[in-house]
Amino acid sequence: MLNNREWAILIWGVGILSILMVRREIRSNIVELLRTLIKPQILIPLFGMTGYVVLEVWPGYKAWLWRREFTKDTIIWFVISALALFFRFDQASEQPRFFRRRVLAAFSITVFLEFFTNLFVLNLIAELLLQPFLVLLALLAAMAESDDRLRILRRPLNGLLVVIGLSLFIFSVRQLFLGWSQLDKPAIALQAALPIWLTIGLLPYIYLLSLYANYQSAFNAIDAHTKNRRARLRAKLALVTRLHIKTRDSYAFGGWPWLERIVSATNFWAARRVVADFQKSRREKEREVAEEQSGSDATPAQTRLTPKADGSIVVSSSRR
């Protein structure tokens, strides 16, 4: 059953959505969004993720990590965390150490504090007043961080958010202390661990989804580059047998001259050498970027003033 905080969020969400639906252009945008979501390219992997989560919960249930009373928490986790990972699966190929950061984030102190402050909630009226106030404060704080004209508001807004967060934390500590003898402590521990193991368990699916999307994009590029079926098949086999499950390499493959070279390869082994050259080129570029970044961080910049004949001064900077 929903607690007062969840009811407050639901009431405000439905109310705001109802007000927005009055405007015709917003209704059309929502309809267009729904049409996008029901496309097979999104709907099929989304249903696949739903089935994957069910299969993930089943061994958790058998191992006494999941209980039937955790159904609501599992649905909330799916809507907030799982869908966020699903719609950002491309970041798994774009960002280095994406999965390592997701695992570390699952164990972060922020996740613990969020769970702990949601363990005990205020009455419904207080939550209805608190939630929009917190949203407004967060928006103002974000605006102050991005706009120098609002710089003077950064400290008081962030301070107020910290005070509210500490107040909710202290309230939860007090409620925990007062009701310690009546609490189901094993259930609370399992409830705290629920989003951690669900998130970590979902990462292999996100990885495979990202890998599939990368290869599909690369295959489409190969198909568009040549009409020769043998060249297409040879290029795709070379790509898969050489890159295997490397998501970042499969994501980056394409463009000139690699597509031209791989479809023009005379045989399978020549096509694999093209992929090997592509990987070598990527590693060299990554090494150059890393060296440039380390060099720019390690050496201080020197400013040079050069007078010109017309009396002006040219300002240039260099690094040792």
> What is the Cα–Cα distance from 211 to 209, expressed in whole angstroms?
5
> Are residues 247 and 182 part of one domain?
no
Asked if residue 312 belongs to a domain, the reply is no
> Are residues 196 and 57 part of one domain?
yes
> Are residues 19 and 165 part of one domain?
yes
Asked if residue 310 belongs to a domain, the reply is no
Residue 298 has what pLDDT? 52
Asked if residue 61 belongs to a domain, the reply is yes
Residue 22 has what pLDDT? 85
Contact, 87 vs 244, CB < 8 A?
A: no
Overall number of domains in the chain:
2
Asked if residue 279 belongs to a domain, the reply is yes
Over residues 25-49, the mean pLDDT reads: 88
Residue 308 has pLDDT above 50, yes or no: no
In angstroms and rounded to an integer, the radius of gyration of the C-alpha atoms of the chain is 27
Residue 289 has pLDDT above 70, yes or no: yes
pLDDT tens for residues 239-257?
999 999 999 999 999 888 9
Q: Which of 7, 89, 9 minimizes the C-alpha distance to 42? A: 89
Identify the domain boundary among 208, 241, 256. Answer: 208
Helix (H, G, I), strand (E, B) or coil at 316: strand
> Are residues 155 and 11 part of one domain?
yes
Asked if residue 304 belongs to a domain, the reply is no
Q: Which residues of 123-156 are buried (b: 16+ CB within 10 A; e: fewer)?
A: eeeebbebbeeeeeeeebbeebeeeeeeeeebee
Residue 305 has pLDDT above 50, yes or no: no
Residue 208 has what pLDDT? 95
> Are residues 262 and 203 part of one domain?
no
Residues contacting residue 183 through CB under 8 Å, at least 6 positions apart: 176
Q: What percent of the chain has pLDDT over 90?
A: 57
Residue 296 has what pLDDT? 62
Q: Is 194 exposed, middle or buried (0-12, 13-18, 19+ CB in 10 A)?
A: buried
Residue 101 has what pLDDT? 93
Residue 150 has what pLDDT? 79
> What is the Cα–Cα distance from 59 to 38, expressed in whole angstroms?
30
Instruction: Provide the domain limits for residue 146.
Output: 4-208
Residue 306 has pLDDT above 70, yes or no: no
> Are residues 117 and 173 part of one domain?
yes
> Are residues 259 and 119 part of one domain?
no
> What is the Cα–Cα distance from 206 to 95, expressed in whole angstroms?
14
pLDDT band at 293 (very low <50, low <70, confident <90, very high): confident
> Are residues 135 and 246 part of one domain?
no
Asked if residue 316 belongs to a domain, the reply is no
Asked if residue 290 belongs to a domain, the reply is yes
Residues contacting residue 111 through CB under 8 Å, at least 6 positions apart: 105, 195, 196
> Are residues 54 and 165 part of one domain?
yes
Residue 304 has pLDDT above 70, yes or no: no
Asked if residue 215 belongs to a domain, the reply is no
pLDDT band at 28 (very low <50, low <70, confident <90, very high): confident
> Are residues 167 and 35 part of one domain?
yes
Instruction: State the amino acid at position 27 in one-letter form.
Output: R
